[in-house]
Each structure stands twice: as C-alpha cells, then as structure tokens.
C-alpha cells in the first residue's frame, strides 16, 4: 500500500493511504515528467486539472522501506509545500498539493535523503530544448549577462505577459556534459532551483521559471565540482 501526503499550500500535510498508484494519462488536462535521482532512486512529477485548481503529485521510489526524505515542491509563486516523508513497505512515498493555476505552469520538486537527491530538473510546463538556444534570443526581452569566474557565460532573460513573468536562465560553458547547480530567485524566495547539464553543440543549459507579482529576479549557477560560479548582477523590478 502506497502512502501519500496530502499537502496544502499553507504547508500542512496529512498521511493518506492509497490503494493504487496514480495512473498515467494521455489526456490534455495532465502533464507529467520523470527521471532518475543522483544514485539509484527514481522520481515522477505530475500536474493535473482539479476542481479546486491544479493537483501536483511528486513521487519518489527508492526501493528502501522506512527511509526518511525531506522534500520541497514549488510553483510559479514560490514554495508550495515542504516537509519530511517516509517511504512505505515498497520503498515509495508520494506527496500531493492542491494549488491554483494551470497545468502549463512551471512546477518543480526536490527530495533529499542522507546520500541522495531527487531533483525535477526540467519541470512541468517548461520547454528545455537547449539546442535551440540562441545568443540573440534575449534581444527583444529584458535581459542581463552576468559574470562567471572562468570562461562560461550566464544570461537571465525576463519576459512579462500580463501579471506573469517568465524568467529564462541560460548558461553556456566550454563543453557539453558539464553539470551545474542553479537557482532563480524572486526577491528572497526561490522560484526554481535544481541541477542541469550543458548540452548540444553550444554546450548550454537553459531552464525556465514563471512567477507572478512584482519584485527583483536574480539567478546564480555553480559547477557541481565547484570549479566555477556564475551570477547575474542586475535585478529585475516591475
């Protein structure tokens, strides 16, 4: 029996048993992404239309029963829920959050245990086609090229549409396959964070985050081997 945590946007969590795992769907009212954690566990992040808005489900399968994980689920407005979950007899846990918005919004989730991290590096509702990155893409938007301690470049671009701002972070390095840790912040709140690898001929990774309201947007990135750091000096205010 799988154990699920039902979390509200206020951060409260309630353990709820589930008799069966959530079923995959091809419906237009659902978006899903999945991947492998830093060691051998697997994660899945799903958003689907709910009567009260959007239901976001984050599942981790470590195949180790009784394991404690710290998790954070974030959306366009910042952190939605955070807490600690314990894997069931099958080595799984699942967290559900009901929030406002749309399944096309960017939702991310991170879970950590003693020696492993599960990170939704692409996220739901976000395109991450790094090979399509163009140095000229930022010309029509509010963008800032920050500074790196070595030869890489970092650019944060902000595109405002109505009350929503879309931030695009792009880091271009010397070669593909380099792993980076990144963070996009709106004021003092983390809008999105995770890890990504540079890809394609241009050796670039690109991630997106959507946020609502006013305030400064900044970004930073660090090579996983700590050999280089990049920051955006300028901030973006409406």
For residue range 202-232, list pLDDT tens digits in order: 899 888 777 776 778 899 999 989 999 999 8
Does the structure show a pLDDT above 80 at 3? Answer: no
Dist CA 192 CA 220 (whole Å): 11
Does the structure show a pLDDT above 90 at 78? Answer: no
The whole-number pLDDT of residue 28 equals: 54
Dist CA 218 CA 186 (whole Å): 7
Q: How confident is the model at residue 24 (pLDDT cuts 50, 70, 90)?
A: very low
The whole-number pLDDT of residue 1 equals: 46
Does the structure show a pLDDT above 50 at 85? Answer: yes
**Where do the domains of the chain lie?**
2-119, 130-231
Topology adopted by domain 2-119: Immunoglobulin-like (2.60.40)
**Which strands make up the sheet holding 42-50, listed edge to edge?**
13-18, 2-7, 92-99, 53-61, 42-50, 30-36
Residue 85 dihedral angles phi and psi, to the nearest 5°: -130, 150
CB 54 within 8 A of CB 99: yes
Does the structure show a pLDDT above 60 at 110? Answer: yes
3-state secondary structure the chain: CEEEEEECCCCCEEEEEECCCCCCCCCCCEEEEEEECCCCCEEEEEEEEECCEEEEEEEEECCCCCCEEEEEEEECCEEEEEEEEECCCCCEEEEEEEECCCCCCCEEEEEEECCEEEECCCCECCCCCHHHCCCCHHHHCEEEECEECCCCEEEEEEEEECCEEEEEEEEECCCCCCEEEEEEEECCEEEEEEEEECECCCCEEEEEEEEECCCCEEEEEEECCCCCEEECCCCCCC
The whole-number pLDDT of residue 5 equals: 58
Length of the chain: 238
Domain 130-231 has CATH 2.60.40: yes
**Which strands make up the sheet holding 108-113, listed edge to edge?**
78-86, 68-75, 108-113, 116-119
Q: Would 2-119 and 130-231 be classified into the same CATH topology? A: yes
């Amino acid at each position: 029996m799988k154990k699920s945590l039902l979390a509200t946007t206020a951060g409260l969590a309630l353990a709820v048993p589930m008799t069966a795992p959530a079923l995959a769907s091809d419906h237009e009212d659902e978006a899903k992404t999945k991947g492998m954690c830093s060691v051998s566990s697997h994660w899945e992040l799903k958003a689907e239309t709910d009567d009260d808005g959007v239901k976001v489900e984050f599942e981790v399968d470590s195949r180790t029963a009784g394991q404690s994980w710290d998790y954070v689920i974030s959306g366009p407005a910042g952190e939605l829920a955070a807490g600690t979950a314990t894997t069931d007899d099958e080595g799984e846990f699942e967290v559900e959050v009901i929030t406002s918005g749309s399944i096309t919004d960017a939702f991310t989730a991170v879970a950590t245990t003693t020696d492993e991290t599960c990170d939704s590096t692409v996220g739901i509702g976000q395109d991450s086609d790094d090979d399509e990155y163009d140095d000229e893409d930022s010309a029509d938007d509010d963008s800032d090229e920050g500074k790196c301690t070595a030869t890489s470049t970092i650019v944060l671009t902000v595109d405002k549409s109505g009350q929503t701002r879309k931030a695009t972070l792009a880091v271009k390095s010397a070669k593909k396959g380099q792993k980076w840790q990144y963070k996009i912040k709106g004021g003092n709140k983390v809008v999105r964070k995770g890890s990504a690898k540079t890809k394609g001929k241009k050796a670039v990774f690109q991630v997106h985050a959507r946020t609502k309201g006013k305030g400064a947007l900044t970004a930073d990135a660090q090579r996983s081997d700590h050999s280089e750091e990049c920051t955006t000096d300028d901030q973006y205010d409406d």
